[in-house]
Structures are given as structure tokens and as C-alpha cells.
Chain A
Amino acid sequence: MRYILPMPVHSLMLLAVWLLLNGFSVGQLVLGLILAWLIPVITWPYTDHQSRAGKPLKIAAYVARLLRDIVVSNVDVALKVLGSNRSLNPGFICYPLALQGDFPLTVLASTISLTPGTVSVDFSEDRKWLYVHALHITTEQEMIAEIRQRYEQPLQEIFS
């Protein structure tokens, strides 16, 4: 299994993206098939095999919410950038993590960085805290509660 087809879903995705980028022809199909086999074989030792995403409907709902949040908060950040620097209240937040596992944590950290106004900075060594830098903090408790309710809880359901 390790050398034949270690991650079939990944292989399929790689092949699809390769064909979308390069157009469909027999040559590209052969090259895509070779890459779709070779890349998972090489990256297999570095990937997180415990966490499995399930529930496609919940994933779709999560992506839709993420896209909506990106648009809404982009406008918000644009206004803050164009406003005065003095009215900004930037700072760091320690976010206590309930989620565990490499891949779910990567998704959560990326989500936080993608939504404007917050960038995930680092994890604590024991993976219990995520440090976030925010462009503007109203209250820390409020931001933690918002991240928990909007992103972490749906992710816990997806990866459970």
C-alpha cells in the first residue's frame, strides 16, 4: 500500500488540478498520472494520517461561511486601513485550543489568517494555545468566543 497508492484521494485531486491547468491530452494525462502517483509516495511520511474529514455538507457550509466572512471583514479592514492609525488597537491574543491533530489545526490557523483582521502567529509547544495577532481588538473574550463558535466548533464536527 505504501508504494502502490498511499493516498488515493490526494492522487485524484492532483491529477484533476494538473489536467485543469494544462488542458486535456494523452501526454498530459500520462504525465499527470505519474505525478499523481509519485508525489503522494514522497510526501506520505510527512502527512497526518489520523484526521479524516467527513460530512461533505458541513464542509460546504464551512467554505460558504468562510467566503462570506472574507468579503464582509475585507470591507471592514479596508475602512480601518484608510482610517487614522491612532484609532487602531492592535494586539496579540492567546486562543485556547480544543481542536487537536496536525491537519485540523492547519485548517483552523489558515482560516484565521484568511479572514481579514487576524493572522495566526504561532502555536505553543504543547499545542494547547494558538497565538493570533489582530489588527483591531475590541475585547479579547469576544474574539475568542467568535473564533470558537464560527470556526473551531464546525471544524470539530467535520473532523470527528
Chain B
Amino acid sequence: MTDIVNILAVICLLTGGFFLFVGSVGLAKLPDFYTRLHAPTKATTLGVGAVLLGSMLLTTMRDGGISIHELVISLFLFITAPVSAHMMAKAALHKKVTALKNTHKRELMKRIAQQKTPE
């Protein structure tokens, strides 16, 4: 029983580690600010989620009873991650951070910064 839980926890930790790693790789290699924004905000959702699931399995096995702390941590992450991504994107548009040349609808950026409707 202990072994099965350990193996499951290790699988969770490895999956989480992989997605967090991909998030960091994306931050380093994607071409412009707006695409770079995608990698780390996503890594937190699945990457940290999987790590917390692994931690939950291990603490549940060690202490008996279900460990709730991890659920609360992921709840906070799910609430805060989109808000911070939104604020960063908005700030970038107002500071006129340039986007990649082949960005679809690039001309729209100015109108968004002025909060106007399209067209």
C-alpha cells in the first residue's frame, strides 16, 4: 500500500516538474512579451496542481486523515494567476510593448490601449 502511494506521488511530482520546466523554457524562448506571458501563467495551473496533488498523497499517507492545505493553496493560485496575467498584459499594452511582426490583428493594439471598440 505504502509503495503504491509512493509511486503515485512520484508520478505526480514528475508530471508537475515537467510542466513547470516547460513553463520556464517558454519564458526563455518564446519570441515576444505577449507570447511569453502564456508559458508561466499556465505552468502554475497544471504544474503546481500536480505537485500539490503529490504532496497531498504523501501527507495523507503519513498523518492519516485528508490534508486540506494543498487544496487551499491551489484555490488561491486559481484565483490569482489569471488576475496577474491580465494586469501584466494590460500594462504592456499601455506601455506600448511591441508585439511580434506576424501577430494577427497587430493594428488593434492601439485601440485596445485606448479602450475603444474595434473598427
| Chain B residues bordering chain A, tally (CB within 8 A) | 48
Interface string of A109-147 (1 = CB under 8 A from B): 111111011011111111011010101010010000000
Expressed in whole angstroms, the Cα–Cα distance for A150 and B100 within the complex equals 29
Given contacts A74-B42, A119-B89, are A110 and B105 in contact (CB under 8 A)?
no
| Chain A residues bordering chain B, tally (CB within 8 A) | 41
Expressed in whole angstroms, the Cα–Cα distance for A123 and B111 within the complex equals 11
A62 to chain B, nearest CB (A): 13
Q: Which of B25, B42, B108 contacts A116 (CB 8 A)?
A: B42
Q: Which of B22, B81, B104 contacts A82 (CB 8 A)?
A: B22
Interface string of B57-75 (1 = CB under 8 A from A): 0000000000011011001
Expressed in whole angstroms, the Cα–Cα distance for A143 and B115 within the complex equals 22
The reply on A89 being an interface residue by CB < 8 A is yes
Expressed in whole angstroms, the Cα–Cα distance for A9 and B82 within the complex equals 23
The reply on B109 being an interface residue by CB < 8 A is yes
Question: Which residues from chain B contact A133 at a C-beta distance below 8 Å?
Answer: 34, 37, 89
Q: Which of B26, B34, B86, B116 contacts A124 (CB 8 A)?
A: B116
The stretch of A33-41, A47-55, A90-98, A151-159 in contact with B is: A90-98
Top 4 A-B pairs ranked by shortest CB distance? A91-B104, A113-B82, A81-B26, A110-B82
